[in-house]
């Protein structure tokens, strides 16, 4: 619903002392910002009762202080509103600001449309902590949107958790060092076990070779034993033959000698084989001793490996215990991180006051920007009037010459002098009118020049405490904002001149994000220093008046739950304009709208301004 249909305007504020007790019997003033003079005008005086302020103004009121504000509301324009104490609380040298406007909405109360302006629930800053945040040299915010007791409680909790986390981190580092030491010990045992296993393999291979040699020597001993037995049998045969020959006298001595030589030869060979057998047995005994030593070494190595495996199991068991302890510590850390997440959410809430102040200063800056556009238009008008003044000055000079010439001819041409006198009187009347107009323009120019100086000084003070927003802005939104500012300037212009076709050239950075959206990034005076202008792009905009002939849009659509782009598209399709406001609201997805004014299904006219509040995180 348009604001011009509002019948009642309600102002609501909750205010508490720093100790949490409600503020009582404090007189406060409700003020609004006059966009023409940029001065705060007093709207109404009221009292805080039991921590609550509720004030009502009817749009039918004829009170002198209220009428200008009501006229703004009836033109569908809600100015900035604030609450200050009538008497200083902290004796500050600047205006003590209790609360800026938090939000507003319209509602049907007792069959009358009402505009509710809320300043939220606030707590005065402890005097020991004053001065608080001072914006430039104009005012100081003396209240907070968060209870000091609650803030101190959460800050103490954050400090406690930070200290506990440091202790846990030290414990984790100690456990990690112990784990590294156990891992090093474990790796050394594994390396030693591998060396023992390698040695056992080498000894086993050597033992296998020795056993093969022993088997060969045993076979050789068996062969030699069989050969010796065969030789013994052959010697016995030969001895028997010798005895037979000796008994037989018929045999000759040569045969006996031959047999005797053969027996000797066999005996020598037998003795040689016996020596060889003794040597083989001696070697076999030595190798058997070596094999027994090798078996003893293998047994010792196996015992070492068994001991190492036992030690490795102990290390593994200790490692498991340390890892279990580490898991417990990590679980505690997770719990602490969850608690810190909760505290971080509260910390976000603590930043609401600063965000509100920045929003208020952004609105101040917007008001100043509009005034500067009006001044530029009036300056242009003054230049045109100065041209007219120059032309009139030329006419005056010409008339003075004509008068001089007429005076010279007056003696001889009385009739002509009378005509010239009448013409001179008429011209002088015209000149007086023109000079009066020029004087008014000069006075207006002097007033505007003084106002420009005041605005520049105020803008400089405000800029000191406002962080210039250097975030990339979608080019569509950037262009829409420019057109919207021009529309506002045109709507406020009541002079003889109007804004027409406008050409803009802007130096900026042009970027494109991963979703293909083209954005521009402006620079402040400070950040522009040292930037290579060759690296920037020049954008040219031609803003031409669109003689849009539309039909009555009917009712305001439901704009809740949409992004700014979607809302702007919906309103544009119905011939309506968007006044976007961003406000911290963690319960609504970032960038999504959660409140609108006028409400949905409210009758609307072409080019009506619809205010939509979008959620902003961080």
Mapping DSSP onto H, E and C, the string for 102-147 reads: CEEEEEEECCEEEEEEEEEEEEECCHHHCCCCEECCCEEECEECCC
Residues β-bridged to residue 99: 83
Q: Which residues of 354-388 are buried (b: 16+ CB within 10 A; e: fewer)?
A: ebbbbbbbebbbebbebbbbbeebbeebbeebeee
Q: Which residues contact 93 (CB under 8 A, 6 or more apart)?
A: none
Largest CA distance in the chain: 219
**Confidence check: pLDDT of 466 > 70:** no
| 534 DSSP 8-state letter | G
**Confidence check: pLDDT of 40 > 90:** yes
pLDDT in tens, 253-268: 777 777 778 778 888 8
DSSP structure string for 344-401: HHHHHHHTHHHHHHHHHHHHHHHHHHHHHHHHHHHHHHHHHHHHHHHHHHHHHHHHHH
Q: Which of 131-140, 338-347, 359-368 has the lowest mean pLDDT?
A: 359-368
| 49 DSSP 8-state letter | B
Question: CA–CA separation, 175 vs 169, rounded Å?
Answer: 10
Q: Which range in 199-208, 498-507, 519-528 is most confidently predicted, on average pLDDT?
A: 199-208
Residue 370: predicted pLDDT:
45
Mean pLDDT of 299-309: 78
Q: Which residues contact 214 (CB under 8 A, 6 or more apart)?
A: 284, 287, 288, 291
Residue from 89, 87, 38 nearest 462 by CA: 38
Alpha-carbon distance values, 540 to 18, 479, 502, 505 (Å): 53, 11, 11, 5
- Looking at per-residue confidence, does 420 or 563 come out higher? 563
Q: Which of 107-121, 180-194, 453-467 has the lowest mean pLDDT?
A: 453-467
Burial grade of 59 (CB within 10 A; 0-12, 13-18, 19 or more):
buried
CA angle 321, 324, 329 (to 5 degrees): 125
Residue 463: predicted pLDDT:
47
- Looking at per-residue confidence, does 432 or 80 come out higher? 80
| 25 DSSP 8-state letter | S
Question: CA–CA separation, 601 vs 457, rounded Å?
Answer: 44
Question: CA–CA separation, 327 vs 324, rounded Å?
Answer: 5
> What band does 394 get if pLDDT is binned at 50, 70 and 90?
confident
Question: CA–CA separation, 397 vs 321, rounded Å?
Answer: 109
Question: CA–CA separation, 501 vs 247, rounded Å?
Answer: 164
Residue from 597, 557, 581 nearest 73 by CA: 597
DSSP structure string for 415-483: HHHHHHHHHHHHHHHHHHHHHHHHHHHHHHHHHHHHHHHHHHHHHHHHHHTS----S-EEHHHHHHHHH
**Could you give the 3-state DSSP secondary structure of residue 504?**
strand
Q: Which residues contact 549 (CB under 8 A, 6 or more apart)?
A: none
> What band does 530 get if pLDDT is binned at 50, 70 and 90?
low
Hey, what are 294's tokens?
């090798």
Residue from 220, 225, 337 nearest 274 by CA: 225
Residue 222: predicted pLDDT:
85
Q: Which of 14-23, 88-97, 237-246 has the lowest mean pLDDT?
A: 237-246
- Looking at per-residue confidence, does 312 or 464 come out higher? 312
- Looking at per-residue confidence, does 264 or 319 come out higher? 264
Place of tokens 């409210």: 602
Q: What is the pTM of this model?
A: 0.35
């Amino acid at each position: 619903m348009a604001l011009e249909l509002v019948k009642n305007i309600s102002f609501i504020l909750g205010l508490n002392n720093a100790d949490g007790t409600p503020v009582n019997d404090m007189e406060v003033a409700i003020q609004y910002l006059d966009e023409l003079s940029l001065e705060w005008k007093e709207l109404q005086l009221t009292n805080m009762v039991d921590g609550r302020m509720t004030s009502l103004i009817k749009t039918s009121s004829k009170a002198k202080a209220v009428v200008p504000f009501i006229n703004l509301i009836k033109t569908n324009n809600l100015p900035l509103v604030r609450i200050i104490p009538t008497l200083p609380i902290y004796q500050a040298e600047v205006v003590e600001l209790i609360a800026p406007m938090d939000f507003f909405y319209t509602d049907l109360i007792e069959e009358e449309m009402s505009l509710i302006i809320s300043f939220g629930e606030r707590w005065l800053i402890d005097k020991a902590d004053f001065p608080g945040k001072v914006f430039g040299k104009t005012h100081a915010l003396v209240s907070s949107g968060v209870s000091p007791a609650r803030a101190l409680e959460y800050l103490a909790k954050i400090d406690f958790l930070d200290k506990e986390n440091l202790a846990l981190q030290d414990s984790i580092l100690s456990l990690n060092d112990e784990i590294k030491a156990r891992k090093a010990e474990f790796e050394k045992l594994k390396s030693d076990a591998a060396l023992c296993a390698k040695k056992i393999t080498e000894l086993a291979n050597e033992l296998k070779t020795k056993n093969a040699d022993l088997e060969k020597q045993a076979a050789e001993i068996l062969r030699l034993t069989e050969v010796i037995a065969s030789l013994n049998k052959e010697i016995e045969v030969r001895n028997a033959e010798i005895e037979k020959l000796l008994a037989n006298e018929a045999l000759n001595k040569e045969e006996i000698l031959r047999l005797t030589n053969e027996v000797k030869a066999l005996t020598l060979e037998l003795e040689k084989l016996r020596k060889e057998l003794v040597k083989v047995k001696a070697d076999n005994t030595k190798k058997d001793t070596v094999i027994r030593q090798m078996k003893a070494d293998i047994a010792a190595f196996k015992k070492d490996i068994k001991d190492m495996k036992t030690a490795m199991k102990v290390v593994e068991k200790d490692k498991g215990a340390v890892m279990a302890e580490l898991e417990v510590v990590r679980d505690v850390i997770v719990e602490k991180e969850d608690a810190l997440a909760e505290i971080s959410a509260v910390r976000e809430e603590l930043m609401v006051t600063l965000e509100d102040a920045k929003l208020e200063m952004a609105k101040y800056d917007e008001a100043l920007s509009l005034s500067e556009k009006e001044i530029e238009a009036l300056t242009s008008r003054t230049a045109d009037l100065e041209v007219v003044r120059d032309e009139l000055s030329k006419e005056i000079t010409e008339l003075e010459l004509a008068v001089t010439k007429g005076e010279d001819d007056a003696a001889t041409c009385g009739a002509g002098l009378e005509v010239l006198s009448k013409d001179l009187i008429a011209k002088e009347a015209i000149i007086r009118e023109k000079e009066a107009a020029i004087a008014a323009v000069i006075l207006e120019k002097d007033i505007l020049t003084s106002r420009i100086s005041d605005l520049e000084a105020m803008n400089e003070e405000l800029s000191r405490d406002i962080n210039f927003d250097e975030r990339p802005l979608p080019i569509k939104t950037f262009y829409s904002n420019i057109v919207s500012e021009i529309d506002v300037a045109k709507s406020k212009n009541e002079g003889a001149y109007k804004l027409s076709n406008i050409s803009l050239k802007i130096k900026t950075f042009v970027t494109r994000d991963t979703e293909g959206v083209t954005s521009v990034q402006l620079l402040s005076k400070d950040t522009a220093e040292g930037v290579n202008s060759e690296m920037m792009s020049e954008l040219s905009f031609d803003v031409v008046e669109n003689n849009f002939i539309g039909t009555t849009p009917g009712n305001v659509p439901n704009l809740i739950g949409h992004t700014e782009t979607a809302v702007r598209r919906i309103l544009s399709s119905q011939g309506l304009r968007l006044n976007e406001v961003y406000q911290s609201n963690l319960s609504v997805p970032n960038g999504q709208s959660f409140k609108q004014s006028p409400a949905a299904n409210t009758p609307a006219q072409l080019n009506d301004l619809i205010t939509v509040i979008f959620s902003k995180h961080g």
